[in-house]
Amino acid sequence: MIWLGYIYLAVLILFGASALADDIKAGKMGRFLISLIPFAVLVCATVGFLFLPKPGGWSWLVFAALAVSVPIVVWDSVQDMKHLRTTDPQFGTGGAIFTTSLVAVMFLPAILLGVLWVR
């Protein structure tokens, strides 16, 4: 069953790296740096769950990092929807729901794995 975690980790890294590369290509360095925070936290939480022992006394730091990451992920998703709405006139409610769902499907498991790791 652990192989599912390895597959998820690979997909998470590819998805996040692709999104970060898009920010770099668009010249949005501020957004890149802000988006890098939750990406790094969620990848580290997933790697910690899969490979490392429980963090012990450092649990509070992992919880704080996860708590900071959630609003940034939501903000980034909203910014993506705003960008799609301005560049694609056909982008409507269905596209917004799909974009939000994709972000939730990609990042929610990493948040849950991070919480399970430090618990």
> What's the CA gap between 8 and 40, in Å, rounded?
15
Give me the pLDDT at residue 43, please.
93
Q: pTM to 2 decimals?
A: 0.85
Torsion over CA: 74, 78, 18, 94 (sign): positive
- pLDDT tens figures, 68-102: 999 998 888 888 878 777 777 776 677 777 877 88
Work out how many domains the chain is built from and give that number.
1
* Per-residue b or e along 42-51, where b marks 16 or more CB atoms closer than 10 Å to that residue's CB: bbbbbbbbee
Read off the pLDDT of residues 11-39 as tens digits, 9 standing for 90 and up: 989 988 988 888 899 888 988 999 899 99
- Residue-level pLDDT at 68: 92
**Domain range enclosing 15:** 2-118
How far is it, in rounded angstroms, from Cα 72 to Cα 42? 12
Q: Rounded to an integer, what distance in angstroms lies between the CA atom of residue 119 and that of residue 113?
A: 10
